[in-house]
Protein backbone atom coordinates (compact mmCIF):
# COMPACT_ATOMS: atom_id res chain seq x y z
CA UNK A 1 0.00 0.00 0.00
CA UNK A 2 3.04 2.30 0.24
CA UNK A 3 2.73 3.32 -3.40
CA UNK A 4 -0.86 4.38 -2.93
CA UNK A 5 -0.74 6.36 0.32
CA UNK A 6 -0.40 9.72 -1.45
CA UNK A 7 -3.08 9.17 -4.09
CA UNK A 8 -5.74 11.93 -4.38
CA UNK A 9 -8.48 9.47 -3.44
CA UNK A 10 -10.48 9.07 -0.22
CA UNK A 11 -9.27 6.40 2.18
CA UNK A 12 -11.87 3.84 3.17
CA UNK A 13 -11.32 0.34 4.51
CA UNK A 14 -8.80 -2.39 3.68
CA UNK A 15 -9.47 -6.13 3.62
CA UNK A 16 -6.64 -8.69 3.74
CA UNK A 17 -7.93 -11.61 1.68
CA UNK A 18 -7.15 -15.30 2.22
CA UNK A 19 -4.92 -15.26 -0.87
CA UNK A 20 -2.72 -12.54 0.61
CA UNK A 21 -3.98 -9.60 -1.45
CA UNK A 22 -5.23 -6.46 0.25
CA UNK A 23 -8.17 -4.68 -1.38
CA UNK A 24 -9.43 -1.19 -0.66
CA UNK A 25 -13.09 -0.21 -0.62
CA UNK A 26 -15.39 2.55 0.56
CA UNK A 27 -18.20 1.38 2.84
CA UNK A 28 -20.95 4.00 2.80
CA UNK A 29 -24.42 3.77 4.34
CA UNK A 30 -26.62 1.08 5.84
CA UNK A 31 -29.25 -1.20 4.34
CA UNK A 32 -29.37 -3.63 1.40
CA UNK A 33 -25.90 -3.96 -0.11
CA UNK A 34 -24.87 -2.60 -3.52
CA UNK A 35 -21.34 -3.53 -4.64
CA UNK A 36 -19.87 -1.09 -7.19
CA UNK A 37 -17.43 -2.51 -9.77
CA UNK A 38 -15.54 -0.01 -11.92
CA UNK A 39 -14.11 -0.39 -15.43
CA UNK A 40 -10.61 -1.17 -16.60
CA UNK A 41 -9.17 2.05 -18.03
CA UNK A 42 -5.72 3.19 -16.86
CA UNK A 43 -5.94 4.86 -13.47
CA UNK A 44 -9.51 3.76 -12.74
CA UNK A 45 -10.85 3.52 -9.20
CA UNK A 46 -14.22 3.05 -7.60
CA UNK A 47 -14.31 6.66 -6.43
CA UNK A 48 -13.43 8.25 -9.78
CA UNK A 49 -16.05 6.15 -11.56
CA UNK A 50 -18.92 6.48 -9.12
CA UNK A 51 -18.44 9.60 -6.97
CA UNK A 52 -21.58 11.15 -8.46
CA UNK A 53 -23.74 8.08 -7.90
CA UNK A 54 -23.26 6.21 -4.63
CA UNK A 55 -24.19 9.22 -2.42
CA UNK A 56 -27.72 9.08 -3.89
CA UNK A 57 -27.91 5.37 -3.05
CA UNK A 58 -26.73 6.15 0.50
CA UNK A 59 -29.48 8.74 0.86
CA UNK A 60 -32.03 6.18 -0.37
CA UNK A 61 -31.12 3.66 2.34
CA UNK A 62 -28.53 1.38 0.72
CA UNK A 63 -25.12 0.24 1.93
CA UNK A 64 -22.53 0.87 -0.77
CA UNK A 65 -19.31 -1.14 -1.14
CA UNK A 66 -17.31 0.89 -3.68
CA UNK A 67 -14.43 -1.41 -4.54
CA UNK A 68 -11.01 -0.72 -6.01
CA UNK A 69 -10.39 -3.86 -8.06
CA UNK A 70 -6.97 -5.50 -7.70
CA UNK A 71 -4.55 -3.59 -9.91
CA UNK A 72 -6.49 -0.34 -9.44
CA UNK A 73 -7.01 2.52 -7.00
CA UNK A 74 -5.63 1.87 -3.53
CA UNK A 75 -5.81 -1.92 -3.83
CA UNK A 76 -2.78 -4.20 -4.24
CA UNK A 77 -1.34 -4.39 -7.75
CA UNK A 78 0.61 -7.65 -8.06
CA UNK A 79 2.96 -7.91 -11.03
CA UNK A 80 3.00 -11.73 -11.09
CA UNK A 81 -0.64 -12.66 -11.80
CA UNK A 82 -2.90 -12.91 -14.84
CA UNK A 83 -5.60 -10.26 -14.64
CA UNK A 84 -8.23 -12.43 -16.30
CA UNK A 85 -11.92 -12.66 -15.47
CA UNK A 86 -11.46 -15.68 -13.16
CA UNK A 87 -8.91 -13.70 -11.11
CA UNK A 88 -11.29 -10.77 -10.62
CA UNK A 89 -14.27 -13.01 -9.83
CA UNK A 90 -12.25 -14.99 -7.28
CA UNK A 91 -11.08 -11.82 -5.54
CA UNK A 92 -14.59 -10.39 -5.46
CA UNK A 93 -15.83 -13.55 -3.74
CA UNK A 94 -12.95 -13.49 -1.25
CA UNK A 95 -13.69 -9.85 -0.44
CA UNK A 96 -17.41 -10.43 0.10
CA UNK A 97 -16.63 -13.47 2.27
CA UNK A 98 -14.12 -11.40 4.23
CA UNK A 99 -16.58 -8.64 5.07
CA UNK A 100 -19.53 -10.98 5.63
CA UNK A 101 -21.75 -10.13 2.66
CA UNK A 102 -23.76 -13.19 1.65
CA UNK A 103 -26.03 -11.59 -0.98
CA UNK A 104 -26.01 -8.22 -2.73
CA UNK A 105 -26.78 -6.24 -5.85
CA UNK A 106 -23.80 -6.05 -8.19
CA UNK A 107 -23.42 -2.83 -10.17
CA UNK A 108 -20.68 -2.67 -12.77
CA UNK A 109 -19.57 -0.79 -15.86
CA UNK A 110 -17.35 -2.12 -18.66
CA UNK A 111 -14.89 -4.59 -17.05
CA UNK A 112 -16.89 -4.26 -13.84
CA UNK A 113 -20.01 -5.34 -15.72
CA UNK A 114 -18.19 -8.40 -17.04
CA UNK A 115 -17.06 -9.26 -13.51
CA UNK A 116 -20.66 -8.88 -12.30
CA UNK A 117 -21.83 -11.29 -15.01
CA UNK A 118 -19.03 -13.77 -14.30
CA UNK A 119 -19.65 -13.70 -10.56
CA UNK A 120 -23.39 -14.20 -11.05
CA UNK A 121 -22.80 -17.20 -13.33
CA UNK A 122 -20.45 -18.75 -10.74
CA UNK A 123 -22.47 -17.82 -7.63
CA UNK A 124 -26.10 -17.32 -8.70
CA UNK A 125 -27.60 -17.59 -5.21
CA UNK A 126 -25.45 -14.71 -3.93
CA UNK A 127 -26.68 -12.03 -6.37
CA UNK A 128 -30.07 -10.38 -5.84
CA UNK A 129 -29.95 -7.97 -8.81
CA UNK A 130 -27.59 -6.84 -11.55
CA UNK A 131 -27.10 -3.28 -12.78
CA UNK A 132 -24.88 -3.12 -15.85
CA UNK A 133 -23.46 -0.18 -17.81
CA UNK A 134 -22.00 -1.17 -21.18
CA UNK A 135 -20.65 -4.41 -19.72
CA UNK A 136 -17.76 -6.33 -21.23
CA UNK A 137 -17.89 -10.06 -21.73
CA UNK A 138 -20.45 -10.22 -24.55
CA UNK A 139 -18.06 -9.91 -27.52
CA UNK A 140 -14.89 -11.59 -28.69
CA UNK A 141 -11.64 -9.89 -27.65
CA UNK A 142 -10.91 -8.89 -31.27
CA UNK A 143 -14.16 -6.92 -31.47
CA UNK A 144 -13.22 -4.74 -28.53
CA UNK A 145 -9.78 -4.00 -29.97
CA UNK A 146 -11.40 -2.68 -33.14
CA UNK A 147 -13.18 0.05 -31.15
CA UNK A 148 -11.79 3.58 -31.44
CA UNK A 149 -11.61 4.10 -27.68
CA UNK A 150 -9.72 0.85 -27.03
CA UNK A 151 -7.29 1.63 -29.86
CA UNK A 152 -6.59 5.08 -28.38
CA UNK A 153 -6.15 3.65 -24.89
CA UNK A 154 -3.66 1.01 -26.07
CA UNK A 155 -1.76 3.56 -28.16
CA UNK A 156 -1.41 6.15 -25.40
CA UNK A 157 -0.72 3.62 -22.63
CA UNK A 158 2.04 2.08 -24.75
CA UNK A 159 3.89 5.41 -24.91
CA UNK A 160 4.82 5.27 -21.23
CA UNK A 161 3.58 6.81 -17.97
CA UNK A 162 0.33 8.68 -18.44
CA UNK A 163 0.21 12.22 -17.13
CA UNK A 164 -2.90 14.40 -17.04
CA UNK A 165 -2.72 15.36 -20.71
CA UNK A 166 -2.14 11.78 -21.86
CA UNK A 167 -5.10 10.73 -19.71
CA UNK A 168 -7.19 13.45 -21.33
CA UNK A 169 -6.46 11.97 -24.79
CA UNK A 170 -8.07 8.70 -23.68
CA UNK A 171 -10.80 9.99 -21.41
CA UNK A 172 -12.27 12.44 -23.92
CA UNK A 173 -13.47 9.39 -25.85
CA UNK A 174 -15.32 8.08 -22.78
CA UNK A 175 -17.93 10.83 -23.05
CA UNK A 176 -20.10 12.12 -25.87
CA UNK A 177 -19.74 15.59 -24.40
CA UNK A 178 -16.16 15.80 -23.17
CA UNK A 179 -16.81 19.20 -21.54
CA UNK A 180 -18.15 17.16 -18.61
CA UNK A 181 -14.68 15.70 -18.07
CA UNK A 182 -13.45 17.26 -14.85
CA UNK A 183 -9.74 17.91 -14.34
CA UNK A 184 -10.04 16.32 -10.89
CA UNK A 185 -10.90 12.95 -12.49
CA UNK A 186 -7.92 13.23 -14.86
CA UNK A 187 -5.63 14.03 -11.93
CA UNK A 188 -6.98 11.15 -9.85
CA UNK A 189 -6.55 8.68 -12.67
CA UNK A 190 -3.12 9.90 -13.75
CA UNK A 191 -1.87 9.51 -10.18
CA UNK A 192 -3.14 5.92 -10.03
CA UNK A 193 -1.91 4.99 -13.53
CA UNK A 194 1.78 5.38 -12.65
CA UNK A 195 1.35 2.80 -9.84
CA UNK A 196 -0.14 0.12 -12.11
CA UNK A 197 1.96 -2.85 -13.31
CA UNK A 198 2.52 -3.52 -17.03
CA UNK A 199 0.96 -6.98 -16.76
CA UNK A 200 -2.40 -5.49 -15.73
CA UNK A 201 -3.47 -4.80 -19.30
CA UNK A 202 -1.26 -7.29 -21.14
CA UNK A 203 -2.81 -10.24 -19.27
CA UNK A 204 -6.41 -8.95 -19.09
CA UNK A 205 -8.67 -11.50 -20.74
CA UNK A 206 -12.46 -11.66 -20.54
CA UNK A 207 -14.30 -14.49 -22.31
CA UNK A 208 -17.47 -14.01 -24.34
CA UNK A 209 -20.26 -15.13 -21.97
CA UNK A 210 -23.19 -14.52 -24.33
CA UNK A 211 -24.12 -18.20 -24.64
CA UNK A 212 -24.39 -18.54 -20.85
CA UNK A 213 -26.54 -15.50 -20.18
CA UNK A 214 -29.71 -17.61 -20.18
CA UNK A 215 -28.49 -19.08 -16.87
CA UNK A 216 -28.92 -15.74 -15.08
CA UNK A 217 -32.31 -15.64 -13.38
CA UNK A 218 -32.03 -12.49 -11.26
CA UNK A 219 -33.42 -9.16 -12.52
CA UNK A 220 -31.04 -7.12 -14.72
CA UNK A 221 -31.20 -3.39 -15.34
CA UNK A 222 -28.83 -2.20 -18.03
CA UNK A 223 -27.71 1.04 -19.65
CA UNK A 224 -25.81 1.70 -22.86
CA UNK A 225 -24.85 4.87 -24.70
CA UNK A 226 -25.42 4.67 -28.45
CA UNK A 227 -22.21 6.70 -28.99
CA UNK A 228 -20.04 4.28 -26.97
CA UNK A 229 -16.55 4.10 -28.51
CA UNK A 230 -15.27 1.35 -26.18
CA UNK A 231 -17.95 -1.36 -26.07
CA UNK A 232 -20.26 -1.80 -29.08
CA UNK A 233 -23.87 -0.94 -28.28
CA UNK A 234 -25.01 -4.12 -30.09
CA UNK A 235 -24.14 -5.90 -26.82
CA UNK A 236 -27.44 -4.56 -25.48
CA UNK A 237 -29.41 -6.89 -27.72
CA UNK A 238 -27.23 -9.90 -26.96
CA UNK A 239 -28.14 -9.54 -23.31
CA UNK A 240 -31.82 -8.85 -23.99
CA UNK A 241 -32.08 -11.88 -26.30
CA UNK A 242 -30.39 -14.26 -23.88
CA UNK A 243 -31.04 -13.12 -20.30
CA UNK A 244 -34.70 -13.75 -19.42
CA UNK A 245 -35.14 -10.97 -16.87
CA UNK A 246 -33.21 -8.08 -18.43
CA UNK A 247 -34.30 -4.62 -19.47
CA UNK A 248 -32.12 -1.85 -20.87
CA UNK A 249 -32.18 1.90 -21.31
CA UNK A 250 -30.43 3.09 -24.47
CA UNK A 251 -29.30 6.72 -24.45
CA UNK A 252 -28.37 8.75 -27.51
CA UNK A 253 -25.71 11.47 -27.28
CA UNK A 254 -24.05 9.31 -24.66
CA UNK A 255 -20.70 7.55 -24.59
CA UNK A 256 -19.19 4.87 -22.35
CA UNK A 257 -19.92 6.56 -19.02
CA UNK A 258 -23.70 6.62 -18.69
CA UNK A 259 -23.48 7.16 -14.92
CA UNK A 260 -21.45 10.35 -15.46
CA UNK A 261 -23.11 11.84 -18.56
CA UNK A 262 -26.67 11.13 -17.37
CA UNK A 263 -26.11 11.06 -13.64
CA UNK A 264 -29.57 11.99 -12.42
CA UNK A 265 -31.39 9.70 -14.84
CA UNK A 266 -29.05 6.83 -13.97
CA UNK A 267 -29.42 7.30 -10.22
CA UNK A 268 -33.20 7.65 -10.45
CA UNK A 269 -33.75 4.58 -12.64
CA UNK A 270 -31.42 2.42 -10.54
CA UNK A 271 -33.10 3.38 -7.28
CA UNK A 272 -36.58 2.82 -8.72
CA UNK A 273 -35.44 -0.61 -9.93
CA UNK A 274 -33.98 -1.58 -6.56
CA UNK A 275 -36.87 -0.25 -4.50
CA UNK A 276 -39.35 -2.10 -6.73
CA UNK A 277 -37.33 -5.30 -6.28
CA UNK A 278 -37.46 -5.22 -2.49
Of the candidates 34, 110, 43, the one whose C-alpha atom is nearest the C-alpha of residue 75 is 43
CA distance 204 to 34: 25
**Helix residue spans in 72-179 (DSSP H):** 85-98, 111-122, 141-144, 148-157, 164-171
Of the candidates 48, 135, 130, the one whose C-alpha atom is nearest the C-alpha of residue 85 is 135
Q: What residues pair up with 133 in beta bridges, in sequence order? A: 109, 223
Q: Where are the beta strands (DSSP E) in 17-114?
A: 22-28, 33-37, 63-67, 104-109
Q: What confidence score (pLDDT) does residue 3 get?
A: 59
Q: E strand or H helix at 193, and its extent? A: helix 183-193
Q: What residues pair up with 248 in beta bridges, in sequence order? A: 222
Q: What confidence score (pLDDT) does residue 93 get?
A: 98
φ, ψ of residue 248 to 5 degrees: the values are -130, 150
- Helix, strand and coil content of the chain, in percent to the nearest 5, comes to 40, 15, 40
For the chain, give the number of residues. Answer: 278
Q: What confidence score (pLDDT) does residue 158 get?
A: 81
CA distance 221 to 212: 18
Catalytic residue numbers read 256
Q: What confidence score (pLDDT) does residue 2 get?
A: 45
Of the candidates 134, 24, 148, the one whose C-alpha atom is nearest the C-alpha of residue 76 is 24
pTM of the predicted model as reported, rounded to 2 decimal places: 0.97
Q: What confidence score (pLDDT) does residue 31 get?
A: 98
pLDDT tens across the length of the chain (278 residues): 445 667 999 999 999 999 999 999 999 999 999 999 999 989 999 999 999 999 999 999 999 999 999 999 999 999 999 999 999 999 999 999 999 999 999 999 999 999 999 999 999 999 999 999 999 999 999 999 999 999 999 888 888 878 899 999 999 999 999 988 989 999 999 999 999 998 999 999 999 999 999 999 999 999 999 999 999 999 999 999 999 999 999 999 999 999 999 999 999 999 999 999 77
Q: What confidence score (pLDDT) does residue 159 get?
A: 85
151 burial level (CB within 10 Å; 0-12, 13-18, 19+): middle
Within a 10 A sphere around the Cβ of 260, how many other Cβ atoms?
24
CA distance 235 to 209: 11
Amino acid sequence: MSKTKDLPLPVGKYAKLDNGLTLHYLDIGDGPVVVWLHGSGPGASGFSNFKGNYPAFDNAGFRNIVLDLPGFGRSDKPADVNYDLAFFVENLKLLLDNIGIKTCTLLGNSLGGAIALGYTLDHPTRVDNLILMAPGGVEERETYFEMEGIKRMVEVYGQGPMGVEQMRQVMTLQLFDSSQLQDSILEERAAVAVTQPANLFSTMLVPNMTERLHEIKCPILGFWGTNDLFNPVSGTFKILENAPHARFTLLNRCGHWVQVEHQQLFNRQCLNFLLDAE
